[in-house]
Structure formats: C-alpha cells, structure tokens
Amino acid sequence: MTEAAKLRQDLMDKYQEKEVNVNLPSSVFLTISFVDSALNQEDADKRAARAQDAAKFVVKSLPSIGKIKTIWIMFVATERRWIVFHYHRSLNEYTFNNRGEPIATIRMNTSDDLLSPIVRFNPTSNETDISVTRVQLEGDLNHGIALVPHFTASGNAGDPNAKVMAPAFVVFDFASYADRRIFSSDSDLEIISDGQTDFSGKAHLLSPDLARASNNAQFLTAQIPFEQFAKMGAARSLKVKLNGRQFDVSPEAIAALRRMAAYAMPPVRRL
C-alpha cells in the first residue's frame, strides 16, 4: 500500500467517511478531499475544525511530512447523473504548512479586511508564517481566480526589536472557480512590475485524484524569489499573467504585498 493510499484509509477510518481522496501530485504538495461528507450539511466552522484536526493528524501520520510544504484540505459535494458521478461544487478549501498550522483559508464568505497581513509566530521553531487571506484577481469565489501569497520567515516578526530573515522564496497559491476547468497542466506565470517582467516561470497544477469525476475548482502553486516579491510590493502598477491571461492587481493589493515584505529582511546574497 502506498503512503497516499494508507493515509486515505486512515482518514476514512478516523472520520467515518465513505469517500476521501488523497493525492501527492509532487513530493511537496498534498491534497485531501472529503467527498460528500456529512459536514457538508453543517456550517463552515465545523468544516474548518475538521480540516484543522485532519491537518494535525496528517502531520503525525505521514512519514514524509518533512518534505511537504503545503497541505490542501477541501470539502466537495457531488450529484449523480445517469449513473456517473459529477463533482459540481467545492464548498471550502483550507491550506496548512507541514506543522499543521493554517497558512490561509479560502472560503465562500467575506472578511472585513482580506488584505490585512496575517502573522503567526511559532516559538518552537522560531519562525513566523506571514500571509494574506486572498487577493482576488478576477470575479469572486463562486466564479473567479484568487491568489494567496504566503511565506515563512526566520524569527519573530511580531517583535519590532527582533531580527527577522526572509526566506529565499514566497509561495503563490492560486485558486480557480469556474463552470469548467481552465487549466489542463502546469501554466506559464509572468509577473510584470511597472512594465518590467520581474518573474517568469511555471505555476504547478495541483490536481486532486478524483478518478470517477471532474471537479471544476482548481489550484496552482508557484515559488517567487523574495527579492522579486519585494519589488512587486514597491511597484506602482502590477500585472499577473497566468496561462496567457493577464490580471491587473489593485493598488490595495499591492500595498498588502508591500506590508507582507516589510515584516522580513531580504535574504543575504552569497557572492
């Protein structure tokens, strides 16, 4: 039994679920889907509590957890048409690091300030996770594309007297909600600050292993060098081009990226 298959069975046994999909599309990203869970009929807080508990369970149970960077946990609803299952609705998605701590949560609700940096210090590891809830690039969470930027810095970013060192990379997680799948594979990603291309690379498609169905919600992830990320926050105009589609980032979102970067010193260059 593979590591993913064992984790799937353990999750089904622990939570008495009939269907749980577990996928390791690469050695550093893990996706878990609770399909037609009884919690789909409950409020979002109960699903959030389950996701948090499941993330902690994964951290304790998965032998290769040290290699994992991001854990995605989602709740999916299905409907039956002509004997074939079709996934048609993704209720909530939650992201965690490899310690089971929330990175950011993409939900079907709103917050007073989605662009306010979220700062979480872990005294055990002397690290701080910094993120914003989401940057909406297009539409809304029913039909659109959102970006969740986050990174882990060394030191206590909440202490103004502490020395906080930025990581080499900032993670950009993209979430797409549409009537059909937009991305078929890894996508070209380009970031343009004040008319200059600061980053050009790939956004990796995270595909939940839904063998019997199709799920229109899609997730991609990319690593942006911190130096380029800091330039994004300092820009007057910012554009994100994903899979050939260009999105203008609002001045408010640019300011949020700038506030995130300000929590950490740039990494030291080695000559």
Alpha-carbon gap, residue 256 to 112, rounded angstroms:
14
Model confidence pLDDT, tens digit, residues 153-178: 999 887 777 888 999 999 999 988 87
CB neighbours of residue 58 within 10 Å: 22
* 200 touches 224 (CB < 8 A): no
pLDDT, the chain, mean:
82
Nearest to 136, CA basis, from 122, 148, 119, 124: 148
Q: What is the DSSP code string of 101-166?
A: -EEEEE-SS--S-TTSPEEEEETTTTEEEEE-S-EEEEE-SSSEEEEEEEEEEES-TT-TTS--BP
Residue 251 pLDDT: 94
Structure tokens at 232: 């994004």
Reported confidence tier of residue 227, pLDDT bands at 50, 70, 90 = very high
pLDDT-based confidence at residue 219 (cuts at 50, 70, 90): confident
Q: Is 50 helix (H, G, I), strand (E, B) or coil?
A: helix
User: Model's pTM, two decimal places?
Assistant: 0.64
In this model, does residue 189 exceed pLDDT 90? yes
* Section 116-144 average pLDDT: 85
pLDDT one-digit tens code per residue, 4-46: 889 999 999 999 998 888 877 666 778 888 888 999 888 888 9
Residue 92 has phi, psi (to 5 degrees) of -145, 150
Q: Which helix (H) or strand (E) holds 218?
A: strand 218-225
Q: Per-domain residue ranges for the chain?
A: 3-262
| pLDDT bracket for residue 92 (50, 70, 90) | confident
pLDDT at position 31 is: 84
Residue pair 21/64 in contact by the 8 Å Cβ criterion: no
pLDDT-derived band at 179, boundaries 50, 70, 90: confident
φ/ψ region of 195 (left if φ > 0, alpha if ψ in -120 to 50, else beta) reads left
Q: What local confidence, expressed as pLDDT, does residue 79 receive? A: 52
pLDDT score recorded for residue 26: 60
Range 226-250 average pLDDT: 94
| pLDDT tens digits for range 104-113 | 544 433 345 7
In the chain, the amino acid numbered 28 is V
> What is the rounded average pLDDT of the residues 220-225?
93
**Distances in whole angstroms, Cα of residue 187 to Cα of each of 137, 183, 244:** 16, 7, 8
Query: Got the DSSP string for 71-90?
Result: EEEEEEEEEEETTEEEEEEE
pLDDT above 80 (res 80): no
pLDDT band at 82 (very low <50, low <70, confident <90, very high): very low
Query: Both tokens of residue 209?
Result: 């292993």
